[in-house]
């Protein structure tokens, strides 16, 4: 309260800093791209907000939020160094690797290749 239209609003969520302005009715908003929320930890997170007027005076507030129900993200690393399996490599053993975000250690990863499924688990660093 007490902010004026046009004052700058700064929102910090995790490592992301977003800015907006106070609107004529005193409200404000910032758009959270899905890329921002994907980087948050499951569970407790805190949103920090500051508003700065044209004289440089600031006000601040924070709110605790809980992140639940986030789907893990998975990445497949380059296969065979170039994403091409040559004739010479065709009969050789092939190791597929990758990484995850928002996945818990020990969760199962299933890779399906040529109709066959292979399973592994997520390591503490998110790799599989």
- The pLDDT tens digits along the chain (128 residues) read 578 999 999 999 989 999 999 999 999 999 988 888 878 877 899 999 999 998 999 999 999 999 887 778 899 999 988 999 888 888 888 899 999 988 889 999 999 988 999 999 999 999 99
Separate counts of helices (H) and strands (E) for the chain: 2, 8
pTM of the model: 0.56
Contact 47, 11 (CB under 8 A): yes
């Amino acid at each position: 309260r007490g902010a004026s239209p046009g004052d700058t609003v700064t929102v910090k969520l995790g490592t992301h800093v977003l800015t907006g302005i106070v609107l004529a009715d005193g409200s404000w908003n910032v758009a959270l791209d899905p890329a921002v929320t994907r980087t948050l930890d499951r569970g407790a997170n805190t949103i920090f907000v500051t508003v700065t007027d044209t004289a440089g005076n600031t006000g601040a507030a924070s709110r605790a939020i809980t992140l639940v129900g986030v789907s893990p993200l998975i990445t497949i690393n380059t296969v065979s160094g170039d994403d091409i399996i040559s004739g010479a490599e065709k009969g050789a053993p092939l190791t597929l690797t990758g990484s995850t975000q928002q996945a818990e250690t020990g969760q199962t990863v299933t890779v399906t290749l040529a109709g066959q499924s292979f399973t592994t688990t997520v390591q503490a660093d998110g790799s599989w």
